[in-house]
Amino acid sequence: MASYSLQWFIDSKDEGKTIKQFLSEQYISRRQLTDIKFAGGRILVNGREENVLYHLRSGDSLDIIFPPEKSSETLIGEEIALDIRYEDSDILVIEKPPFMNTIPSREHPNGSLANAIIGYYQKKSIEATVHIVTRLDRNTSGLVLVAKHRYMHHLLSQMQQKRQIKRTYEALVSGVMGNRSGTIDAPIGRKDTSIIEREVRADGQSARTNFEVLKQYKDYCHLKVWLDTGRTHQIRVHMSYIGHPLLGDELYGGDISKYDRQALHCSQLEFCHPISKQQFIFHSKFPFD
């Protein structure tokens, strides 16, 4: 099994710190350190194994070898073509088509993006499981960010919590928008009568959705949408709440006469790679359907 590793060369500002202290500053959690110690990882200083209480010296070479990634025993790899927009040793950026689950569900146990990724890993002999960072609903298309190992997933999840991963959507909504731009600030929670459907409700989680009109047509509108929070079905719920449901969104009252899925697409993904520090902006055109 392949292992992911990181290396640092210690300079004077970090001299005297313990390995544990230094690694915590690199966002390696206590749980990850436990995994490294007991699940097959290693900590090396100048090529020699050391424990986390070792005091670092200027000029030391510190190598962290993470435990081998284990493929999921329950997730079956499938040979499904992937539209990979970017790949390196840490991440994948994939364009997900509509009508594909991000992960398997009881109703759709096969054919998901996760199944396709496992199949891709198997074909490329990449020992890893699936770490999807930015999920999309089954019928929502667009850009998805995937981590290729646990440490990267941890870093990207922290960035998500700090709103450092920016996603922009395009949507078609019914009606004529009264304002060219605006913010919908309304809490969202699960509907009492459904395990799937959400609604705006006073006891829900805070949710903020921003929108800008790209083009107004006679009876529908093309919007750019971006989020300050990431609640389940947030865009769909908020647009329905203000009386402009997404076209094709049957669950939330959208017009389904011309569309067989909600007209929602993740068109832009922007983030700074937490290891290489490279700034990325990916764009995806509104799909033909």
The residues annotated as belonging to the active site are 137
Per the CB < 8 A criterion, the answer to whether 266 and 142 are in contact is yes
Q: What angle do CA 155, 141, 192 make, to 5 degrees?
A: 80
Closest of 2, 142, 147 to residue 70, by C-alpha: 2
The CA-to-CA distance between both ends of the chain, in Å, stands at 41
Estimate the share of the chain in helix, then strand, then coil, as percent rounded to the nearest 5.
20, 30, 50
Helices (H), the chain: 19-25, 30-38, 113-123, 150-161, 234-241
- Tokens 């009386």 — which residue? 243
Closest of 203, 268, 199 to residue 234, by C-alpha: 199
Three-state DSSP class for residue 119: helix
CA distances from 93 to 131, 171, 272, 280 (A): 12, 21, 13, 10
Q: List phi, psi (to 5°) of 284.
A: -140, 130
